[in-house]
Amino acid sequence: MSAFDPVSRIGGKPAIPAGRSNGESMRHLRLPAALAGFVAIHGLVAVPAATAAEALQTMVVPGATCQLSIPTTNTGVRPKATGFRNESTTTSNFVICPLVTPTVRSANANPLANGYIILSSLDGQAHSVSCTAVVGLGGNVVFPAKYSTKSIAIPAATDDSVSGSWTLADFGQSSGDSIDGSAWFSVTCNLPPQVQIQSLQGNYYAEIGD
């Protein structure tokens, strides 16, 4: 999988009113974009968020953070330092993995430009995995849950890996620079025997100042 290239998006810098120093300007706090998004979601009244510079950052979440969708003790699935592994030779299990960004970003709750899940084989055999990414919230009219399912072909080599990826088009979104509702992003896979989830990755927009 190729490395992510940082991308910057620069917004305008607000001017300081005449007769006011930098220190005085700093004392007039503005509502951060993330808080503005939270307020919009919950139907409260807020002042408009100021424009700020943004940078596209990369985040990695270890596979060990995944968990069984239906907890049971009768399974070979377990988290380890190298990933979330299905060490069973006979039984598949549904596994859910969150990709949580450190920011909501805006009223569209759209921090993620894309999301990835990285998988590999444990037994030297090729496998096929069905994974469903979900954004949004169930029962929420502003950000309804949207689903996108993909079949991912895993190579046989145990020292190789493959990624399943999702972008805004996978959720029926035709415009914008990121996935609406991706402040709530998860991937659920029907993890076959002898397959592991190494990690989740994503590019997200973060404010870097004015």
Domain that holds residue 133: 59-204
Q: Among 42-51, 81-90, 159-168, name the one with the lowest average pLDDT.
A: 42-51
Residue 196 lies in a domain: yes
Mean pLDDT, range 179-183, rounded to an integer: 95
CATH number at residue 84: 2.60.120.260
Other CB atoms within 10 A of residue 120 CB = 21
**pLDDT tens digits, one per residue of 4-30:** 333 333 343 333 344 444 343 333 333
With beta carbons less than 8 A apart as the criterion, state whether 120 and 162 touch.
yes
Residue 175 lies in a domain: yes
Question: Is the pLDDT assigned to residue 34 strictly greater than 60?
Answer: no
Joined together, the tokens standing for residue 59 give 């985040």
DSSP letters spanning 64-89: GG-EESS--SS--EEEETTEEEE--S
Sheet architecture: strand order including 185-191: 67-68, 93-98, 185-191, 127-135, 146-154
State the pTM of this model: 0.73
Residue 168 lies in a domain: yes
Task: Please name the amino acid found at residue 144.
Answer: P
Residue 193 lies in a domain: yes
Cα four-point dihedral sign 48, 51, 56, 60: negative
Residue 166 lies in a domain: yes
Residue 65 lies in a domain: yes
Residue 176 lies in a domain: yes
With beta carbons less than 8 A apart as the criterion, state whether 62 and 117 touch.
no
pLDDT of residue 99: 95
Residue 178 lies in a domain: yes
pLDDT of residue 210: 61
The total number of structural domains that make up the chain:
1
